[in-house]
């Protein structure tokens, strides 16, 4: 995660829409790091309009979410009318690629794969040149089959030269990865961690979490829900322990489960915390785990 240098350019609002697959989250993270953008996660039922408006006053904002339909994106894009540049990125992929990513590579099944919404993202993955729509917004369509570097390059070409020239500096804060399939709970925990002074990465399931770690995200601690589609929190802790031994894990569970605790400890979890999460417990674990 990176923080930008001071900038005097016109603010830029980037909306990245696509299914909740690891590839889309990887592109969002690459944009965030490359441009030093303030990133917001969104879905049609959870869009932080006020926070996005405030962030636009400072520079580049990236809204990354499962916003398949134009009406889902409309409220967000209206924030940029007459006050900033607006870029819409439509991240699309073929069904076979989506199924391979979700089921085979990461043993994880995002809920959207079971719904008709996915078809809106997969119906046409052909790459086209960036175009301006009737409202003056730049629309960029990206094929998920491209490499991450190619995808990022297409995004950068759609931005003004002053944005491409930005050189963000590293964020010195310790970073916590929040893995939670409920978007409201994920956003709430991310906000709390930010207020406590941590940099935060987010993932909606184990597949996206492993993708971020495999790509080299600098994570000091992972906080994961236990009950998620596909891999459970204990399964994820096992995989992280095998492939990223330096990352410690905290599991969250809504149920008192002694067996879960017994299995979690040898799977590299720091501890197991019960939901609803108490602030005093979270702060204690953070202090112990990131010391």
Question: Any idea what the CATH number is for the domain that residue 264 is in?
Answer: 3.40.50.2300
Q: Give the end of a domain, one of 123, 139, 164.
A: 164
The mean pLDDT of 151-161, rounded to a whole number, is 90
- Do residues 148 and 191 share a domain? no
Query: Is a pLDDT exceeding 50 seen at residue 112?
Result: no
- Do residues 125 and 199 share a domain? no
* Cβ-based neighbours of 262, under 8 Å, separated by 6 or more: none
Range of the domain at 41: 2-164
What's the rounded Cα separation, in Å, for the pair 19 and 97? 12
- Do residues 107 and 181 share a domain? no
User: How high does pLDDT run on average in the chain?
Assistant: 78
pLDDT of 163-207, one tens digit each? 888 776 677 888 999 999 888 888 889 889 988 889 899 888 888
Q: Which residues pair with 175 in a beta bridge?
A: 199
> Among 144, 128, 183, which Cα is nearest to 28's?
144
Q: Does residue 13 contact residue 84 with C-beta atoms inside 8 Å?
A: yes
* Model confidence band, residue 5 (pLDDT cutoffs 50, 70, 90): very low
* 3-class DSSP state of 214: helix
The mean pLDDT of 259-275, rounded to a whole number, is 77
Q: Give the end of a domain, one of 164, 193, 224.
A: 164
By mean pLDDT, which of 3-7, 171-175, 260-264, 272-276 is the weakest? 3-7
- Do residues 202 and 136 share a domain? no
- Do residues 122 and 33 share a domain? yes
- Do residues 146 and 63 share a domain? yes
More confident residue, 136 or 206: 206
- Do residues 124 and 185 share a domain? no
By mean pLDDT, which of 60-74, 135-149, 230-244, 277-291 is the weakest? 60-74
pTM, full prediction: 0.72
**Domains identified in the chain, total number:** 2
- Do residues 88 and 194 share a domain? no
Give the β-pairing of 2-3 and 169-170: antiparallel
- Do residues 82 and 224 share a domain? no
- Do residues 237 and 157 share a domain? no
* Model confidence band, residue 18 (pLDDT cutoffs 50, 70, 90): confident
Q: Give the end of a domain, one of 108, 129, 164.
A: 164
Q: What is the pLDDT of residue 291?
A: 64
Query: Is a pLDDT exceeding 90 seen at residue 151?
Result: yes
* CATH code for position 75: 3.40.50.300
Q: What is the pLDDT of residue 128?
A: 52
- Do residues 151 and 186 share a domain? no
- Do residues 65 and 7 share a domain? yes
């Amino acid at each position: 995660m990176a923080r930008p240098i001071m900038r005097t350019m016109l603010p830029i609002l980037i909306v990245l829409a696509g299914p909740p697959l690891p590839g889309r989250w990887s592109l969002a993270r690459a944009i965030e790091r490359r441009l030093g953008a303030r990133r917001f996660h969104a879905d049609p039922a959870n869009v932080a309009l006020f926070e996005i408006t405030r962030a636009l006053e400072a520079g580049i904002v990236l809204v990354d979410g499962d916003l398949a339909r134009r009406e889902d994106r409309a409220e967000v894009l209206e924030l940029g009318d007459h006050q900033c540049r607006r870029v819409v990125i439509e991240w699309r992929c073929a069904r076979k690629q989506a199924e391979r990513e979700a089921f085979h590579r990461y043993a994880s099944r995002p809920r959207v794969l079971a719904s008709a919404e996915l078809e809106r993202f997969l119906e046409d993955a052909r790459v086209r040149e960036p175009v301006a729509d009737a409202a003056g917004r730049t629309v960029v369509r990206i094929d998920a089959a491209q490499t991450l570097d190619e995808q990022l390059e297409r995004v950068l070409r759609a931005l003004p030269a002053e944005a491409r020239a930005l050189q963000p500096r590293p964020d010195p804060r310790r970073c916590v990865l929040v893995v939670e399939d409920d978007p409201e709970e994920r956003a709430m925990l991310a906000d709390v961690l930010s207020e406590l002074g941590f940099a935060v990465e987010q993932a909606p399931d184990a597949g996206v979490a492993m993708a971020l770690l495999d790509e080299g995200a600098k994570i000091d601690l992972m906080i994961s829900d236990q009950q998620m589609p596909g891999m459970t929190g204990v399964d994820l802790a096992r995989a992280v322990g095998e492939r990223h031994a330096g990352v410690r894990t905290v599991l969250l569970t809504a149920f008192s489960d002694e067996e879960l605790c017994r299995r979690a400890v040898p799977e590299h979890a720091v501890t197991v915390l019960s939901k609803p999460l108490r602030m005093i417990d979270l702060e204690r674990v953070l202090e112990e785990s990131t010391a």
